[in-house]
């Protein structure tokens, strides 16, 4: 269960306050994998970072009774001067999982080769995404936060990422951001739509997608 209690987030730009998340009062159901929809700039990444605890809310709070991953495509928690292996070792200690097992899993999954033992600052953005996705998949969370991470790499690596992610979804749930509606239908069984700072829950994923597409059409016609 993830519950938003009067959750708000805003930014200041040119002396004006822009509200991105506007007093959300909503409980997301347990055991559902949710597709997070919204136009570009709607605040999807902001909401994901609030759920993960990376961003502090300006008002209200996020309450959960289970473990939540960091955003899978987010590499900001990795120290750039440490190697990939050293970062994974640190994460293992933080989350209390077996260090050697996690390092072995990530080294094999990420396919970084010798770069796994080189500083993260030498990585490309795709390599960092492989490292963060592999580290996330190596730890069992109740809810995974995923932002386009399964699109990283070549066809073989993407297929492997989807396969491992699907295995995790057998025992966990997710909040998934993707522009690929077929992928969303493949992994999710319900939807949430973020529009003008408000969040709407749809038990029917196709209804959520249809509402999102209607908003996109209206915006294009303006």
pLDDT in tens, 149-162: 555 667 888 888 88
Q: Report phi then psi at 20, rounded to 5.
A: -100, -45
SS3 123: coil
Pairing type for strands 2-13 and 173-177 reads unpaired
At residue 117, the pLDDT reads 98
Cβ–Cβ < 8 Å for 14, 64: no
Q: How many CA atoms lie within 13 A of 217 on its CB side?
A: 6
pLDDT of 75 higher than 60: no
Contact call for residues 36 and 192 (beta carbons, < 8 A): yes
Chain segment 39-53, per-residue pLDDT in tens = 999 999 999 999 999
> How far is the C-alpha of 7 from the C-alpha of 82, rounded, in Å?
35
pLDDT digits (tens, 9 = 90+) for 146-194: 876 555 667 888 888 889 999 999 999 999 998 889 989 999 999 999 9
């Amino acid at each position: 269960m993830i519950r938003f209690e009067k959750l708000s987030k805003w930014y200041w730009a040119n002396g004006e306050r822009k509200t991105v998340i506007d007093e959300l009062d909503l409980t997301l159901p347990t055991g559902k994998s949710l597709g997070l929809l919204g136009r570009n700039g709607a605040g999807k990444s902001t909401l994901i970072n609030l759920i993960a605890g990376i961003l502090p809310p300006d008002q209200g709070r996020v309450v959960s009774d289970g473990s939540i991953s960091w955003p899978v495509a987010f590499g900001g928690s990795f120290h750039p001067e440490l190697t990939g292996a050293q970062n994974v070792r640190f994460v293992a200690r933080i989350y209390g999982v077996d260090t050697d097992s996690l390092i072995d899993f990530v080294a094999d999954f990420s396919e970084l080769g010798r770069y796994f033992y080189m500083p993260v600052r030498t990585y490309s953005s795709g390599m960092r995404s492989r490292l963060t996705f592999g580290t996330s998949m190596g730890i069992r969370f109740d809810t995974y936060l995923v932002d386009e991470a399964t699109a990283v790499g070549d066809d073989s690596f993407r297929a492997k990422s989807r396969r491992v992610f699907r295995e995790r979804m057998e025992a966990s749930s997710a909040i998934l951001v993707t522009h690929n509606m077929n992928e969303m239908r493949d992994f999710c069984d319900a939807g949430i739509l973020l529009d003008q700072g408000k969040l709407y829950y749809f038990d029917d994923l196709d209804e959520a997608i249809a509402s999102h597409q209607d908003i996109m059409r209206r915006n294009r016609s303006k």
